Amino acid sequence: MDILVAGATGNTGLRLVNELKRIGHSPIALVRESSNTGDLPSDIALRHGDLTDLQDDVCEGCDAVIFAAGSGGSTGPEMTDKVDRDGAKRLIDIAAKAGVKRFVMLSSAGAENADPDGDLAHYLKAKHAADEHLKASGLSYAIIRPVSLTDDHGTRNMRFGDDVDMTGKAARGDVAAVLANAVEDAEWTGRALLMESF
């Protein structure tokens, strides 16, 4: 499948691109003009676009889309809204119009019931809005909500759903594997699940 990856140059996105290639897909990295693409595989297709200002044809020819982007921990609420909420929603709308077969969303544990007084309240509210927009879009979707991320490769030992320890950890390598698998796995269709590594 030809799969557009938003956030392809990020810590999780780089792992995701390589995982998609490993299992036989053709990832297409959505990158800004200013993105550092040096760590991406040399043969990967690039598609230029900015999540704060996406063009209508950004999903053209894509079978699936994976949203693994984020505004980053050092940006303020305004950029969080522009990327994690509005950028995600716009990409969902474009994907739906383009007839994309599956949209996989990297969300976050807590997005479904964020603590309004917590440090991550604004971010989780933005993620929740994007998740709900995806659910209502008519697209076939999967939403993965990992607990606190680490930069580990992971062991592919993972738990999902109600069994997840909300104080646990999720290795980015494991998250990338789940995102890649969720593109085609029927078990993920129409589901939003918590995830942790163990």
Instruction: Reply yes or no on whether 141 is catalytic.
Output: no
Residue 41's identity, in one-letter code, is: P
Residue 127 backbone phi and psi in degrees, to 5? -65, -40
154, 197 in Cβ contact below 8 A? yes
Q: Check residue 36 and give left, alpha or beta (phi > 0: left; psi -120 to 50: alpha).
A: beta
Angstrom distances, CA of residue 44 to CA of 61, 113, 130, 175: 15, 37, 27, 21
Three-state DSSP class for residue 100: coil
Residue 140 backbone phi and psi in degrees, to 5? -70, 125
59, 95 in Cβ contact below 8 A? yes
Point out which residues pair with 31 in neighbouring strands.
48
- The residue annotated as part of the active site, out of 123, 144, 180, 183, is 123
What would you report as the CA-atom Rg of the chain, rounded to the nearest whole angstrom?
A: 15
Residue 103 backbone phi and psi in degrees, to 5? -125, 120
Alpha carbon distance 158, 65 (integer Å): 23
- Active site (catalytic) residues: 123
